[in-house]
Structure 1
Amino acid sequence: MCIVLRMDLGMSTGKLIAQAAHAAVGASDLGKKENHKAWRNWRDKGAKKVSLEAESLKELKELQSKAVDLDIVNIIIQDAGHTEVPTGTITALGLGPDKSDLLDKVTGSLPLI
């Protein structure tokens, strides 16, 4: 599983962690429904998660488009707007769970957080 967070929003460390958690839970729930075999394999092998940086909303949407083209389960996270960013702000993208080599086709060039 890959979690991609928007770094251009200036979110605090705590906010980034919360958004990453939303992306991880959302992607896991969706993956369990839409690609159960990959989800079970991921879970049984330790449920690996990698957190990565996106520079902008444009980059995040481009990554999501690549994921759709490759049939990778994905979820966009929009914030409720109670604390640091306005309601509906897209903060993160959850990808997978799926095979690492497939996820790398979408996220391989991104820096780790």
Structure 2
Amino acid sequence: MKQAIVARTDIGMGTGKLAAQVAHASLKAYENADSDAQRKWTSGGQKKIVLKGAGQKQLRELADRARQERLPYALVTDAGHTQLEPGTVTTLAVGPGPENIVDKVTGDLRLY
């Protein structure tokens, strides 16, 4: 089991902002998973990776692919309280799900 979080590189998030957005995405996607996937991922060490995303369009396309693969996912938009405009898409989490299926969606991306 694995979770992949894709963070945009084109919007200049600071380190703290990036960490917060990745955490939001991870938790939301976990909450969207069924109890079996939650249990398997939690008992397996909660494997996750953070990947580079080129922009909002790419994150939305990846979300569509995750939906087609029947994977839990979460697309995060910022509230706009600090660095970004309200509604800015920042991150996408895909999974937890079987590693080979998560990789079908995000396997072509580079590590952050």
TM-based fold match above 0.5: yes
**CA RMSD of superposed structures (Å):** 0.8
The counterpart of 1:9, out of the listed 7, 11, 35, is: 11
Deviations 1:57-95 (A, max 9, x none): 111111011111111111110101011110111101111
Percent identical across equivalent pairs? 42
TM-score (norm 1): 0.94
1:61 match: 60
Cα distance in 2 for residues equivalent to 1:84 and 1:30 = 27
Deviations 1:29-68 (A, max 9, x none): 111xxx2212211100101111111011111111011111
| Contact preservation (8 Å) 2:30, 2:72 | no
| Contact preservation (8 Å) 2:29, 2:95 | yes
The list of structure 1 runs, each at least 4 consecutive aligned residues, that deviate by more than 4 angstroms after superposition, is none
Q: Secondary structure at the match of 1:96?
A: strand
How do 1:66-81 residues align onto structure 2 when only pairs under 5 Å count? 66-81=65-80
TM-score (norm 2): 0.95
1:48 match: 47
**Which stretches in structure 2 are left out of the alignment for 5+ residues?**
none
**Which stretches in structure 1 are left out of the alignment for 5+ residues?**
none
Q: Which has the higher strand share?
A: 2
For these two proteins, the number of residue pairs brought into alignment is 110
